[in-house]
A = this chain, B = another copy of it.
Amino acid sequence: MPDYRPTIAIIGAGAIGGYYGGRLAQHGYDVHFLVRSDYDAIRKNGLIVQSIDGDFSISADRVHVYRHPADMPNVDFAIITTKSTSNHDLPKLLRPIMKPDTVLLTLQNGLGGEDDLAATFGPDRILGGMAFVCINRIGPGVVHHMDHGIIRLGPFRESAREAAKQVVAMFTACKIRCDELSDLKYGRWLKLVWNIPFNGLGTVMDLTTDRLLANDAGRTAVADLMAEVIAAAKADGVHLPPDTAQQQIDRTPSMGAYKSSMQIDRHEGRPLEIEYIIERPLQIARKAGLASPNWEQLLKLLKILQA
């Protein structure tokens, strides 16, 4: 058991927050869940996790669940798993639970989440990560973990490197596979190379990943977008290998008829994470003077789907 025994807050216990927070609680950590719609169910039945790595639950008498951050204790460490579409609410959710040295880890999609947190709380306590996991909330307070589960995380600035190492060790001790990223920005851009075409086009056209790659027109559209994202990454100081696009395309068919999270949000009528997955990285391309015609057009069309 590592020495790092922080008090932990999970901000937004949907599928991702419920699963990882649940694992931490299962292993004896002091975890406090801030939730919205599932509050009553978790209060009554506890948090229930069905997982390929073993089912477990945190019983109602042991789970710490809250509707308002003002009711929560101050914590040493907070994991942010809300949708980025409500990031404007984050400062007022986080302020009541912060200590001077509270470490924040955002597991949101896209680019810019760490920058927002750094602007409000300072850069030296901010970690960012990506959860590679197939997981669904299948009912109030019930999470189904179907596949994968690795978290890759790193510090926003090198000043938080030690905090990142402690968090990686903690996750690992809780049987959560976790890699430390030497370069968080590199990891974020690498994921964007896949997310921008497959979340973006998949949502605009309402097509699963297999349909986007079913003919030359689709493969070309995906590759054209990836090339624009790779150019933007380079302008942002991230040099991805020359075969990045091809590798990302080649690994996609194994996912079958995969619906991206944004495509599912479209189906469910939820707000779309357009700003952080599509628009913030595009702003970096624009600032660098890059023309990104396919990406610009994609953003235009996505905005038609916004309420």
Contacts and interface: CB of A to CB of B under 8 A. Distances in A.
A307 B304 CA distance: 26
Contacts of A92: none
A6 interface: no
Contacts of A307: 215
Contact of A301 (B221, B303, B305, B306): B221
A303 B211 CA distance: 12
Contact of A304 (B207, B297, B301, B304): B207
Given A204-B205, A206-B205, A206-B206, A218 B293 contact: no
A122 to B, nearest CB: 35
A166 interface: no
Nearest to A293: B293
Contacts of A215: 303-304, 306-307
A204 B221 CA distance: 13
A5 interface: no
Nearest to A294: B297
Contact of A217 (B201, B214, B217, B303): B303
A300 B217 contact: yes
Interface string A59-71: 0000000000000
A262 to B, nearest CB: 14
Interface residues of A, number: 23
A212 interface: yes
A208 to B, nearest CB: 12
Interface in A94-148: none
A164 B235 CA distance: 61
Give the residue among A204, A205, A214, A218 with the most B Cβ atoms within 10 A.
A205
Contacts of A201: 301, 304
Nearest to A211: B304
Contacts of A204: 204-205, 301
Interface in A279-307: 293-294, 297, 300-301, 303-307
A212 B297 contact: no
Interface of A: 201, 204-207, 211-212, 214-215, 217-218, 220-221, 293-294, 297, 300-301, 303-307
13 contacts: A205-B206, A205-B301, A205-B304, A214-B304, A215-B303, A215-B304, A215-B306, A217-B300, A217-B303, A218-B304, A221-B300, A294-B297, A297-B297
> Closest 9 interchain pairs by CB?
A217-B303, A218-B304, A297-B297, A217-B304, A206-B206, A221-B300, A204-B205, A221-B304, A293-B293
Given A204-B205, A206-B206, A212-B304, 20 more contacts: A201-B301, A201-B304, A204-B204, A205-B206, A205-B301, A205-B304, A207-B304, A211-B304, A215-B303, A215-B304, A215-B306, A215-B307, A217-B300, A217-B304, A218-B304, A220-B300, A221-B300, A221-B301, A221-B304, A297-B297
